Structure formats: C-alpha cells, structure tokens
Amino acid sequence: MQHGPVVRRRKLGAELRALRTSAGITSGEAAGLVGWHQSKISRIETGTSGAKPSDVRLLLDAYGVDDEQLRGLLVTLARSEDAAGRNHWWHAYRGVLPPTYRDFISLESQASAMRTLETTVVPGLLQTPEYARAVTRAAVDGMPTERLDTLVEVRLARQDVLRGEPPLELSAVLDEAVLRREVGGPGVMARQLARLVEAARLPHVRLQVLPFSAGAHIGVTGPFVIFSFSSTSDLDVVVLDHLTSSLHLERKEDLEAYTEAFNALLIHALSPEDSLDFIAATAAGA
C-alpha cells in the first residue's frame, strides 16, 4: 500500500524527470544550472526525497518551462509534500499514530472538499467525544487508557477543518446502519444523532441517508473517501481503509469510477432535507 505523500512525491519526480529529458538536459547539467549536487536531482526525480516549491520553480526555469498551468500543478505537488513534512499538529503524535493515519490527516487538512461513504460508523469529523471513545475502544481491544485518550484527542482535533477559513466542504452518504448501530449505549447514541442533526444544518456539510429500503447498492463493496483540492483535480485522491493499512488511488480511471459510484449513491439516498428529518426521527426513537 502506498501513502498519499509518497505517491505525490513520486509523481512530482517523474514529471520533473520527463521535463528535463524533453529539454535535452542531463541530470549533471541540471545540477550545474541550479547549483546543486547531481545526487539531489536524482533523489527528487526518484521520489526518494521531496522538493520545496522554490526548488521546483528553479528547475522549471532551468528547463525553460513557461506553461503556467503546468508550473502551478507541479508547485502545488511540491507544496503538498512540503506541507506534509512540516511540523503540523499531528506530528506531535508520531509515536502514537501509524504513518497511514498521519497521511490521511495530512490529506484531510489540505483538501478543499471531502466526499465519503460510511457504512458502519459516523464519519470521524462528526463524532462526539463519547462516540469516538466507544468506537476507538472497540477497534483495538484492551487498549491502555492513556493511548485511548490520545487517539480520541486526535479525532477531535481533526474536526477543526470544519471550522477553518474556508472550512472543508463535507458531503457524506450514511448507510442507515450507521444510525441504527448502537455505539456506546443509548445515551451516547442519542447525543451522537443530535450532533448529526446539528452538523447537517451547516452550509458546508451535506448529509444524505441511504435507507435500508434502497436495497443493494454499489456501496456494499465498502466505505471510501474522495479528497478534492481547490487548485486542480489532478491532485484528487481516493482513500480506502483496511484494518492495518490504507490504499490511495490517484489514477484517472479510479477517480472517475469512485466519483460515478458516489454520484449513484446520491441518487438512491434520501435528499438532504429528508435525511435531516430521518436522522431527527431516529434520534427521537433512540
């Protein structure tokens, strides 16, 4: 399984290598043009190490690349890698969070929009502290209290993206099972459903319920997340979570397939207004 930042680093390196080759410049000549050692060029092109936006601009100038759209894309790729490597808040939890989870948080923090299908639990960005604790405890049996507290703390810190300027645009399709599965007991579930009702009223949050009456649907294959970025759709990525790892899909055909799947789910799901009523009614009966 490949991590998001690693995929982007390799993509950036491959693009820079192709541009250098098209310009008829050897790696040694490129190093001389920008005043670096040849090994740095090699590390960037193979994705072994990342490149700063300023590094990318320097190389593009050396290769005579003046296509503003292409330059913008490659600088954005470098900025994504640079942002993932800077000392963001989640780096304080390096000893607790696995790399795949840190990569997910990095993508989440940089994305402008997130589309997600959830088939079992409430999306992490909308969980209450009590619900988050119950889900985390169930996921890892016998977890020490201190570690559990830390993971819940991280889960709640992630929710700041919904309060940013601008906030993350969240569109979530929730299988009815998410609302019916009693997590943490009746009281915890009632408060969690109330939180969903509150979130559904936010202008940048769109919740739609996929009722049991919809029958079999394309989402039965499992949950997924699609991250989109304001700069360009070329950076969009699909994330599939597994028990011990995550898979990042960035090929155009994969993105198209999952986008079509999500759009199909929206058609079968209740409208946002009816979904709000459905959640509220479920909460009243919880």
Q: Which two tokens stand for residue 125?
A: 């960005």
Amino acid sitting at position 169: E
- pLDDT for 221-279, tens place per residue? 889 999 998 766 677 889 998 666 678 888 889 999 999 999 999 999 999 999 999 99
The predicted structure's pLDDT at residue 86: 44
The predicted structure's pLDDT at residue 183: 95
Backbone angles phi, psi at 147, to 5 degrees: -70, -40
List, in order, residues 6 or more apart from 52 with CB less than 8 Å away.
78, 82
Beta strands in the chain (DSSP E): 113-118, 169-175, 205-210, 224-228, 237-241, 246-249
CA 38 to chain centre: 34
The predicted structure's pLDDT at residue 82: 47
Enter the pTM of the model: 0.80
* Cα 280 to Cα 231: distance, rounded to the nearest angstrom: 37
* Cα 266 to Cα 79: distance, rounded to the nearest angstrom: 33
| Cα 284 to Cα 131, 192, 194, distances in angstroms | 18, 12, 9
List, in order, residues 6 or more apart from 239 with CB less than 8 Å away.
4, 104, 107, 224, 225, 226, 227, 246, 247, 248, 249
Q: Which residues of the chain have pLDDT under 70?
A: 1-7, 80-87, 231-233, 242-245, 286
